[in-house]
Amino acid sequence: MDEPIRVAICDDARAVKYFLRHVLEEDGDIEVVSTTSTGEDGLADLDVCVPHVLLLDLVLPDVPEPAVLVRKIRERAPDTAIVLISNMPQFSLQKEAERLATDGWLPKAAKPEHLRDGVRAVSPQAASRRSR
């Protein structure tokens, strides 16, 4: 079996973090290695957990401009895929993901299989399968 996809979740809502962990780990090929509630904690945790994918809430109380946080994440963990998550309308979320040059976006209310598939699609494991 391949190495599990390591995922970090940065979201200020405890219920969202719990839900995402439960959904993502359901099939066994994804492991949530970190959950944080602030941009600062999420950034600091990158050095410890080294995730393949970071699910990043677009609206965090300590992050007035998401572009600054995304830039810092890219500097600290250039190999980590960043996927924005939000409750905002899909069109707006997609536009923000494009503006911030993230690797993807997922609505928090997406169906569980879409959440898992979205993480798998940006993971290094998916990239290595495409290159075979």
- CA proximity to 4, closest of 131, 124, 128: 124
* pLDDT tens readout for residues 25-43: 999 999 999 999 999 999 9
Is the pLDDT assigned to residue 132 strictly greater than 70?
no
Give the pLDDT confidence score for residue 31 in this predicted structure: 97
The average pLDDT across 90-104 equals: 94
Contact 49, 84 (CB under 8 A): no
Q: Rounded to whole angstroms, how far apart are CA atoms 119 and 60? A: 21
- Integer-rounded Cα radius of gyration of the chain: 13
What are the φ and ψ backbone dihedral angles of 113, each rounded to 5 degrees?
A: -65, -30
In the chain, what are the domain boundaries?
Answer: 5-124
Question: Which strands sit side by side in the sheet containing 104-107, from one edge to the other?
Answer: 30-36, 5-10, 53-57, 81-86, 104-107
At the top level of CATH, the class of 5-124 is: alpha beta
- Residue written as tokens 């962990």? 21
Among 100, 125, 89, 128, smallest CA distance to 39 is for: 100
Measure CA of the first residue to CA of the last residue in the chain; give whole Å.
17
